[in-house]
Amino acid sequence: MYMGYIYMDIALPLGTRRNVSLAPYTTFKIGGTAKYFYIARSTKDIVDAVAQAKSLKLPFFVLAGGSNVLVSDKGFNGLVIKVQNTAYTISKTNVHADAGVSMETLVKKTGSKGLSGLQWAGGLPGSVGGAVRGNAGAFGGEIKDSIVSIRVLNAKGNIVTLIQKQCKFSYRDSLIKKNNLIVLSCIFKLEKGNKRIIQATAKDHREYRKERHPLEYPNAGSVFKNCDVKKFSKKLQEELQDVIKVDPFPVVPTAYLISQAKLKGLRVGKAQVSKKHPNYIVNKGGATAKDVLHIAKKVKNIIKKKFSINLEQEIQFVE
């Protein structure tokens, strides 16, 4: 060992492990091994690990909470940096949170202080970094609504602070996601509210997820984005009027389309379109990434044929 690094095949941060299964680090519980695996417990750890990987021209992938991710059966032939910086502070109505803080922790802690703005995320899996990157949302709320600024690591290895407007948030997307920036930490601005109501709302959302989502099986969350009403023909818009919801703009739930196409329960190997919520693919035990991709492709093709809609995949495939 030398200079804080450990010699393996190449010099990597101290604590780096070889041939680590990634399945336990994802909510899908699917995926092969990472050639190198490093747990970054601070922002400095993340920055240093990325810099080292780049200097070695080694492929790297930053893994946060592990939701919305499907890892290839072949694994990842490079360095996986597991983000585990979990510091946060709450000062009056401002919240500073590292990327590795779980969303559920933040929802509970802010709710206990009577701070309103994140209760829509009750029961939301994953971390702050992942939620910000994909502009997570539910029950009419989105994470962009409370963001003041975000510290990111850009492609040049520089730490940059972006204010909310610079992030170009859109439906389950952002400049951060498009440009593959790495979220390090965020500042949220919340509002004082009724503690009892805030906590009750978050609890209701958790219960809703337990009742309507297939949480009894490993999954990665919604596989596809909901569909913008504007993408449907006028005739279909009229026919689907009763199922349109605001999320945060008028959409047709993809789960409804998949259900109408009679794809509930569609199974390949140990992967299955959930009968409970058909925009979820669940791991029935021993499912492979190949199984999941096969189902996703089939669902896309059938929905395209039936509704003339191209489903947009929400889950990121890592290979």
Report the catalytic residues. Answer: 172, 222, 314
- H or E stretch at 192: strand 191-192
d(CA 85, CA 183): 11
Q: Where does residue 155 rank: exposed (0-12), middle (13-18), buried (19+ CB within 10 A)?
A: exposed
- Residues 199/104, Cβ–Cβ less than 8 Å: no
Q: Which DSSP category does 68 fall into? A: T
Is residue 123 a contact partner of residue 206, using CB atoms and an 8 Å limit?
yes
10 Å Cβ neighbour count for 84? Answer: 18
In contact, 100 and 129? CB cutoff 8 Å: yes
Give the span between the Cα atoms of 170 and 248, in whole angstroms: 10
One-letter amino acid at 12 equals L
Q: What is the largest CA-CA distance in the chain?
A: 68
Nearest to 306 by CA among 242, 258, 243: 258
Rg of the chain (C-alpha set): 20
